[in-house]
Each structure stands twice: as C-alpha cells, then as structure tokens.
Structure 1
Amino acid sequence: MSASRTPFRFAAMSRRAAITGAALAAMALSACGGSGGAGAAEGDMAKGAAEGAKVTLVEYASVTCVGCAAWQRDVWPQIKSKYVDTNQIRFVFREFPTPPQDVAVAGFLLGRCAAAKSGNPDDYFRVVDEMLASHPQLTPNQPGFAETLQRIRTGLGFSQEEYLACVTDEAAIAQMEERIRAGQAQGVSGTPTFYVNGKVVADRSVEGLSAAIDAELAK
C-alpha cells in the first residue's frame, strides 16, 4: 500500500517511531528467561478486580497478532464474563507489538492517548478491541490496518493532527520500549502469552485458563 493512501503508517510516524517498530521483531528473538508475569508493572492496563487481587491473569499481546485476534474472539468473552466482570480476578493487558510493528505501535499509542484524553481506561481497550477485530481473514499481512487506525481515531474524535502528535510522542515511544524490554526480561517471546499469578499457562483455551484460575482461587 502506498504512503499516499495510508498516511497512518511509516509516513505518519517519527523516524524514531519507525525505527522502534522495525526493531521489535529482533528484540523479541533475544528474550531472556524469567519467572514472568508476577506483580504489577509500569504502564499496566487492567480490568476487573483491583490491584492486589487474589488472582491476576496477564496477557501479553499485540493488536496485529493473528493468534491474539482469535483468542479475543473465541476465548476472551467467556473469561471476561465468568471472572473479570464478576471481579473474581484482575486482568492485565501488556503490549508486545508484532508485525506489522509500526501499526501495532501506533495502535497502542492511540489507545493510551484516547484513555488519557477521556480519563477513561475503557477507551484504551476500545482501541485494542477494534484493532483485534480487524482480522476477519486471520491473515497477518492483509491490508486494512492503516484504514482501521484512521476509522478508530475518527470515532474517538481525534483530528489528524492530534493523531500524528500521539503516535510521534517521543516520551510515549520510550515508555513502550521499556514495557517491551520488561516483557522480554520476564521470558515473553511471542504472543499471546498468558500468566496466572506469575505462572505461564500454555493452554490458552477457556478450559485451560479456567483450570489455572480456579486452582488459584481455591487456595
């Protein structure tokens, strides 16, 4: 897709933002080992029970990740209804951008700007949800992500100038880089990755996650 048709990709982002996005795949390949997912982290976006809840479910995900989109569609509604909406657990979403990284970075930054502008964290999740729902074919390289960003920013009431200021914010980009490094240090190397009370859960199905959550709730 040409830059003229998609002003919300590399052409819309600062040089540093573009370099950051292009470097994320290489960063993910050098993940370190670690216990992973335990405790609160700077920049966490959360739903459900308050910090310090008996059980915390952490998801590392990307808005451009096919597996994340499938999980969001098929599993999340049941986990949300059973555990999050009832405040039985705290759900924490952590950003780990995947290809196309420039679009993932922009989507996450837009979500944070939306939440900051409205004062409502739900607007962050609104952006994440809409980005993940833009995978109707579940193919990683399908066109349309940039158009999705434009549609979302318009729906949020952001002008193009506000959007550009958001996705080229040097401080926000640096903070995202720190969150990515923190994920690597915890052993995250792909998405989606799930932790329940700091323990990785390989089975990300409703049954697998429910079993891990229920075991912790029963303690």
Structure 2
Amino acid sequence: MSATTRYAAMSRRAAMTAAALTAMVALAGCNSGGAGAPAEGDMALGAAEGAKVTVVEYASVTCHVCEAWQKENWEAFKAAYVDTNKVRYVFREIPTPPAEIAVAGFLVARCAGSDKYFDVIHELLASREEFVTDPRSTLFRVGNGAGLSNERVQQCITDEAAMAAAEKRAEAARAAGVDSTPTFIVNGTKVITPGSPSGPSMADLSKAIDAELAKS
C-alpha cells in the first residue's frame, strides 16, 4: 500500500472520530464551572499539580485564533509564569474544523511523549496554514522533528484506542461548558477580553493570575 493510500485510509478513520467529536463540541470563533478542575489526560508545564494557580487553556491546532494567541502572547506568558513555576499551565485539546486534521495533530503530539508534546503542539500552531492545507507533509515533518518516523506517525493517527481517548477528552470539555477556542481558565474562572481578535489579552490574563498569586 502506498503512503498516499495509507494516509487516505487514516483520514477516513480519523474523520469518523472527528465527526463524533465535533458533534459533541460545537465551538464558536475558532467564541465555567468544571472547566478548571483536573481532568484525565491533562498535559502540563510549570508548577506541579496542587500549585497555588492553575491556568487551563482549551485550544485546537487548527484554530486560527489559537494560532494568533500563541504568536502574540505565548513567549511572554511562558517567561513570566511557566518558566518561573508561578503557575501550573494545562493544555486541553478540542478539535475545531477541519476536525479530522486537528485530531490527527493531537494524536501525533501525544505519541511524541510528554517531553515533546508541547513542541509538537506549538509547531503545528505555528504552521497552522500549512497544516490545514497539507496535513500529510506537515504531520510527517513535525513528527520527524519530535523523533517519530513516518511509519510511526501513521500508526499514531490510526490508533483506535487513542482516538477513543481523544473523544472522551472532547466530551469532558463540552460537559465543562467550554464553547470557544482559545478559552483560558484561571483557578476556575474564565478570562475574557471583549472584542479581542485573538482570545484573552495578555494584560487580562496577567491581571487574573496576579490577583490569585497575591491571595494569602
């Protein structure tokens, strides 16, 4: 079977899972209760679990608003709060259209392992336009960069158990009331910047975080 044929088979299988995910999580904007609580499958950076401040981001690797937030704010946020261990930063996956491509990206990131997970997520976001137009080449390139062979990438994105786990994570996000990407939750409270074209501003996020850090 050629690589193209194998990838097409993967796409059909991932599309079936993505259809179910999309039905469960209808997101606005590409626009909260239990959204900040610990969840199975959480991927985190910074302070350890039980930290004074936990920042949860719900995002998708095919979301142009998430792409903009990363380009505009990630390095400043990381330097101020993650690298200094002031917060526990948790990234939670929600597939946005084209959902089958987002699901494949998340599966490759998880296959790369916890030490390379965020490298894959951030590279896919940085390459979002390329990713949604040429997912096959992008997944191979980014996967290779994380130490995965092309064959391993194909195995990752056709892993039915992994797809089922992705479905459970998306269902948990829906149950938590998340309706947009990116959504940021600081110690259980959603951060909103009205009118922002790229999600919550760094100023509003910092204000929320700093207020929590200042509490006794």
Secondary structure of the residue aligned to 1:127 is: helix
Q: Aligned residue for 2:123?
A: 130
Question: Equivalents in 2 of 1:136, 1:181: separation in Å?
Answer: 26
Question: Equivalents in 2 of 1:65, 1:8: separation in Å?
Answer: 26
Aligned residue pairs total 205
Compare 198-207 and 159-168 and name the one that shifted more.
159-168
| Residue pairs, 1:129-168, within 5 angstroms | 129-135=122-128, 143-168=133-158
Structure 1 counterpart of 2:204, from 195, 202, 208: 208
- Provide Cα deviations, 1:138-175, integer angstroms capped at 9, x if missing partner: xxx96233321121122233233222211111111111
Structure 1 residues 30 and 88: alpha-carbon distance in aligned structure 2, compared to 1, 3 A threshold: closer
Mapped contact 2:63–2:181 kept (Cα < 8 A) = yes
Report the Cα offset of residue 8 of structure 1.
7.7
Mapped contact 1:22–1:101 kept (Cα < 8 A) = yes
Mapped contact 2:61–2:105 kept (Cα < 8 A) = yes
Question: Equivalents in 1 of 2:6, 2:69: separation in Å?
Answer: 26
C-alpha RMSD over aligned residues: 2.3
| Residue pairs, 1:38-49, within 5 angstroms | 38-49=36-47
Question: Equivalents in 2 of 1:69, 1:183: separation in Å?
Answer: 20
Secondary structure of the residue aligned to 2:128 is: coil
Mapped contact 1:8–1:150 kept (Cα < 8 A) = no
Secondary structure of the residue aligned to 1:29 is: coil
Mapped contact 1:36–1:195 kept (Cα < 8 A) = no
Higher-helix-fraction structure: 2
Percent of pairs with identical residues: 55
Report the Cα offset of residue 24 of structure 1.
2.8
Q: Aligned residue for 1:118?
A: none
Mapped contact 1:9–1:103 kept (Cα < 8 A) = no
Mapped contact 1:57–1:197 kept (Cα < 8 A) = yes
Report the Cα offset of residue 26 of structure 1.
2.5
Structure 1 counterpart of 2:159, from 164, 169, 183: 169
Secondary structure of the residue aligned to 1:150 is: helix
Mapped contact 1:14–1:168 kept (Cα < 8 A) = no
Question: Equivalents in 1 of 2:11, 2:5: separation in Å?
Answer: 9
Is residue 24 of structure 1 aligned with residue 14 of structure 2? no
Secondary structure of the residue aligned to 2:40 is: coil
- Provide Cα deviations, 1:57-116, integer angstroms capped at 9, x if missing partner: 00000011000000011011111100110000000000001111111111111111110x
Q: For structure 1, which runs of at least 5 residues remain unmatched after alignment?
A: 116-120
Q: For structure 2, which runs of at least 5 residues remain unmatched after alignment?
A: 194-199
Q: Aligned residue for 1:105?
A: 103
Question: Equivalents in 2 of 1:45, 1:192: separation in Å?
Answer: 16
Report the Cα offset of residue 14 of structure 1.
6.0
